[in-house]
Amino acid sequence: MFRLRVAPGSWTPPPEVVAGRKGVLVVCNHRSFMDPFALCSGLLPLETKYVAKGDLFSVPFGGWAMKNAGDLPVKFDPKGSKGGWGMVKGATGQLLLKAQETLLAGNSVAIFPEGTRMGFDAEKAAAAAADPSRLMEFKPPFFDLAKKSGVPVVVCAMRGTDDVWPVGSNMMRGGTITLSVSAPLDGADYADDAAFAAAARKRMGELYAKLCESEA
């Protein structure tokens, strides 16, 4: 139904990363339910463990596959004050610890640091639309983890996933998805997790803007 294209000049993971001897943290913009499928395919032969909403792990077949693959569940509290999007008390620390263990074991981890899909949260999307990078604010804990663990961050940007599978729709349609992958960022080059996250967001915004320009 759709075509996946990797932009020329994209970073290619070295053999030690592909072989699972050295982990990287992959970060990408988030615009559609299609994102993890397209990103997973576009990064091959690099395999990553995905951080995803815990409820998805109970979905027949797909969720079971995520669990068996070693993906990392985010435990949300359905009775919390944030409409089901607040994390269970203590879950953040557990998630970060598991992610650190995964990365230091040589496995790579992929996250969507905006925290939700563009367009799902109208207020956040409106704020992002006024920003040249067209990205929502990044959540910094994983950047702090990467910095302290000495794990490089690989910044990606995708365009077209929201055309193939729009927010609010249960139907997919044909189209082209383009993935751009930047060379890794080293946390040692930044003063703290906030600066590291801001640099990654800037890089991702530049990649996404370039994709939009090239396919306009």
Domain holding 154: CATH number? 3.40.1130.10
Give pLDDT, residue 130.
Answer: 54
DSSP letter string, 99-122: HHHHHHTT-EEEE-TTSS-TTTSH
Of the pLDDT bands very low, low, confident and very high (cuts 50, 70, 90), residue 110 is very high
Per-residue pLDDT at 149 exceeds 90: yes
Higher-pLDDT residue of 155 and 213 is 155
Per-residue pLDDT at 52 exceeds 90: no
- Which helix (H) or strand (E) segment holds residue 15: the answer is helix 15-18
Give pLDDT, residue 126.
Answer: 56
Q: For the chain, how many structural domains are there in total?
A: 1
Distance in angstroms (rounded) separating the CA atoms of residues 182 and 177: 17
Q: How many CA atoms lie within 13 A of 188 on its CB side?
A: 4
Short-list 136, 148, 160, 125, CA closest to 37? 160
Find how far residue 128's CA is from the centre of its chain. 17
Beta bridge partners of 48: 108
Give pLDDT, residue 9.
Answer: 95
Backbone φ and ψ for 87, nearest 5 degrees, come out as -80, 150
Of the pLDDT bands very low, low, confident and very high (cuts 50, 70, 90), residue 88 is low
Give pLDDT, residue 84.
Answer: 43
The token duo for 195 is: 């600066």
Least confident of 24-38, 73-87, 90-104, 140-154: 73-87
Q: Hey, what long-range contacts does 92-99 have (CB within 8 A, 24 or more apart)?
A: 92/141, 95/51, 96/141, 96/142, 96/145, 98/72, 99/51, 99/72, 99/142, 99/145
The mean predicted confidence, pLDDT, of the chain is: 83
User: Mean pLDDT, to the nearest integer, of 160-170?
Assistant: 84
Short-list 169, 199, 178, CA closest to 187? 199
Higher-pLDDT residue of 57 and 32 is 32
* CA-to-CA dists, residue 62 to 59, 88, 195, 197, angstroms: 6, 23, 36, 30
Per-residue pLDDT at 111 exceeds 70: yes
Per-residue pLDDT at 102 exceeds 90: yes
Higher-pLDDT residue of 92 and 141 is 141
User: Mean pLDDT, to the nearest integer, of 105-117?
Assistant: 87
Strands 153-159, 175-181: pairing is: antiparallel
Distance in angstroms (rounded) separating the CA atoms of residues 68 and 62: 10
Q: Which residue range forms the structural domain that includes residue 30?
A: 2-214
